[in-house]
Copies of this chain bind each other. A is one copy, B any other.
Amino acid sequence: MRKIADSTVRRLSLYLRFLEEFEGQGIETISSGALAGRGGTTSAQVRKDLSFFGSFGKRGLGYSVPELVQALRQILGLTRHYRVALIGAGKIGSALVQNRGFRRRGFDFVAIFDRDPAKVGQELGGVRVEDVRQLEASLGRNPADIAVLVTPPEEAQSVADRLVHLGIKSILNFAPLQLAVPADVTVKTVNLALELEALAYHLANPT
């Protein structure tokens, strides 16, 4: 399969969400226009996005909702479960582990690490917090697919290096810095302070 832009993957995720809503309402077919309207895009964009992956829908009839849901789940890799390790059991980390939506989507937090001795041994969302020094021992025995990194910025790169060394190919990074990783490792960075600053910029510079 050829390389698909991140922005396309993002829209496919959104389409899937809307389609699941439609499915929940018992709607069986849907036009590209209705899907576009819900996603803030155009029906041409919807058709183009879906055309990357094959031929869906019938001209004049629209898309079969259950078929498209199934196809998008397959495309996005959501027909299986992913083992997720959390590093950093602070407030944001704890909130993520306890999010039921992630689990429903197939993202299972299976390991939690922290360097704070007061947190080690506690349970979060049914998972015992381990000492981050046990990262290699623990993930060596029970590998994770995805690591969620919520450490202070000064520790993030060294933890990321250890995760990469363990063979982890996917990191969701909440630390406010750009991680350096090999080309075969995917990092998504969520920087909440940056989002707030972008809002501040717009308030300071109204157009």
Q: Which residue numbers of A lie inside 8 Å of B, CB to CB?
A: 1, 3-4, 6, 9-10, 12-14, 17, 38-40, 75-78, 80, 82, 84, 90-92, 94-96, 98-99, 101-102, 105-107, 145-146, 169-172, 176-178, 180, 184, 186, 188, 190, 192-207
Contacts and interface: CB of A to CB of B under 8 A. Distances in A.
Quick one: copies of this chain in the complex?
A: 2
Given A82-B196, A82-B200, A105-B193, 14 more contacts: A1-B205, A78-B197, A91-B95, A91-B98, A92-B95, A102-B192, A102-B196, A107-B200, A169-B203, A170-B200, A170-B202, A186-B203, A188-B199, A190-B195
B77 A178 contact: no
Contacts of A106: 200
A82 B200 CA distance: 8
